[in-house]
Amino acid sequence: MKKFRLLFCAALFLYAALARATEPAAFDYGDDPMRWLENDRVKLGIDLSIGGAVTWLSDAANGGANMINSVDWGRQIQLSYYSGPVPYIGPNGEQPHDAWRNLGWNPIQSGDCGNFPSKVLAFRQISETKMAVRTIPMLWPNQNLPAEAVFECVYSLTPNGFVLDATIKNARSDTTQYPAMRQEIPAIYTNGPWYKLVTYMGDEPFRNKPVTVLIDKGDGKGWPWINYYNPERWSALVDENGMGLGVYQPESARTTAGFFGGDELKGVGGAKDAQTGYIAPLSMMILDHNITRTYRAYFIVGSVDEIRSRVYKLAKKGLPEVPAWVFDGDRHNWIYEGSARDEGYPIDGCLDISFEASPQGGIDGPETFWLAEKAPVLEIDAELLLDGARPGEEADLVAHFAPVSPRDMVDDIKWPLNPEQEKAKAERAEKYPVLPGFSAPIPVAADGTRGVWRVDLSQFKEYRGAMKAMTIGFPQEKGNVKIYSVRLTRGKRGAR
């Protein structure tokens, strides 16, 4: 028995040594982990000791003070993703911290809740205005547990801010396709002086309509975080002079944000104080075990008018007036409901979805914005094959549309903490209702014939004004559907 124990210990030692030998080496950043980009207005700093997350952003036009909070490794400006299982237990039984176990598999750029930092693998100074970093993220809810993933960030300085190109590359040994979860794209934490939360909420985006101040001094708001629809895709945290930091995320019309610390701490504090402003543009996303996915976010410093003006210029060049999705390698933040499942990543030219009769399958599109009158026709390029379908047989796909509602004109507490907040949330829901949507059947071939299937939405009296989302329901039968594109258009482009 003693000999067996010695052999067992020797084997464990050898395994550990081999594991260490195969671990990628950390980047040697020398005596100073900070790396900088700077122009005559903006100074941007990332910290290579905590994954290359942004720990400094300042605006010379507003005194040059650092706006970014770093009280722990869950703050900064950084990448943060979520997937299953919930809770996530490590491969050797590592348990998450009780306070964070409901987050599931949650790799973040800076480090974990136990202050174990993420490891930078590589850094590259591309030019005077651009730098890149490659990182193995830590799982925030656990302690000293690296994720089976790599983050890659490219930071590009602009005259009044910077652009973040953020990539996640998963290499998880767990190949389960977990349901979509809301991703922070990215997470942003400011110091106490930047407390005032501003955005546009309404049904006339990009027309310079008045903005809304969602959090201000003396209003008692900020924590719990609030949740809101913002069709212009930007939010800003500014100081008492109306100067600060804005983020424009064209993929996200839904944001969670707030201020932690209470009214008395709005307007004061530094990078190592607990009070903080917070913004996270959100997107529902499936994170396959082997996914590679990149998003772009734009950061703008200055006044609210400066921030909004820059957003309008960016949106004019890149945000379509009428949404269309072509599934040519990306799901574009469409997600699955019921029994619907696809073939996983990579997405090879279409969404290849299988489904059962029960529960009924379907796909949900991301929140966006369009005017019904500018997009009277829906086109779906697809091939549907139901089990046992005869040649020439048809079935219905059902498109359901959600209009912009009174509820979308106000913010909502993300999660109530006590009965009083529960009551207030219920009263707000009653005062600002969600308008009912409507459904439009789309007859398609059920025998696997590919076609561009159309429906004239103008025939439905409910299809008027501002719209924000759509879903597509499948027949309550077993089958498969390949969806190549979903387009809202001004009219027919010719039949196939």
251/350 same-domain check: no
Q: In the prediction, which pLDDT does 22 show?
A: 58
Distance CA 436, CA 405 (A): 9
pLDDT of residue 13: 40
Do 300 and 384 share a structural domain?
no
Cα angle: 343, vertex 347, 352; to 5 degrees: 45
CATH number at residue 112: 2.70.98
Cα angle, residue 28 at apex, residues 27 and 32 outer, rounded to 5°: 120
127 found inside a domain: yes
Identify whether residues 256 and 168 lie together within a single domain: yes
* Exposure string over 173-188, b if 16+ CB within 10 A, otherwise e: eeeebbebbebbbbbb
Please report whether residue 1 resides in a domain.
no
Between CA 140 and CA 106 the distance in angstroms is: 6
One domain, residues 144 and 63: yes
Does 88 share its domain with 200? yes
Residue with tokens 């020797």: 10
Residues 355 and 310 in one domain: no
| The amino acid at 85 | P
Token pair 């772009």 is found at: 296
In a domain, 270, yes or no: yes
End residue of a domain, out of 318, 351, 373? 318
Find all residues with CB under 8 Å of 91, minimum gap 6, and list them.
173
The CATH number that applies at residue 442 is 2.60.120
Residue 8 resides in a domain: no
Query: pLDDT value at position 307?
Result: 98
On whether both 49 and 108 belong to a single domain, the answer is yes
Residue found by looking up tokens 């700077």 in the block: 38
In a shared domain, residues 379 and 414:
yes
Domain-ending residue, one of 261, 296, 318: 318
Structure tokens given for 135: 């990182």
Q: Same domain, yes or no, for 302 and 334? A: no
Residues 59 and 196 in one domain: yes
- Where does a domain end: 273, 299, 318? 318
The reply to whether 425 falls in a domain is: yes
Count of domains observed in the chain: 2
Same domain, 377 and 307: no
Domain membership of residue 334 (yes or no) is: yes
pLDDT in tens, the chain (496 residues): 444 444 444 443 433 443 444 578 999 999 999 999 999 999 999 999 999 999 999 999 999 999 999 999 999 999 999 999 999 999 999 999 999 999 999 999 999 999 999 999 999 999 999 999 999 999 999 999 999 999 999 999 999 999 999 999 999 999 999 999 999 999 999 999 999 999 999 999 999 999 999 999 999 999 999 999 999 999 999 999 999 999 999 999 999 999 999 999 999 999 999 999 999 999 999 999 999 999 999 999 999 999 999 999 999 999 999 999 999 999 999 999 999 999 999 999 999 999 999 999 999 999 999 999 999 999 999 999 999 999 999 999 999 999 999 999 999 998 888 898 889 888 988 999 999 999 999 999 999 999 999 999 999 999 999 999 999 999 999 999 999 999 999 875 433 3
Domain check: are 125 and 146 in the same one?
Answer: yes
* Structural domain boundaries enclosing 337: 324-489
Instruction: Indicate whether 363 belongs to any domain.
Output: yes
Report if residue 167 sits inside a domain: yes
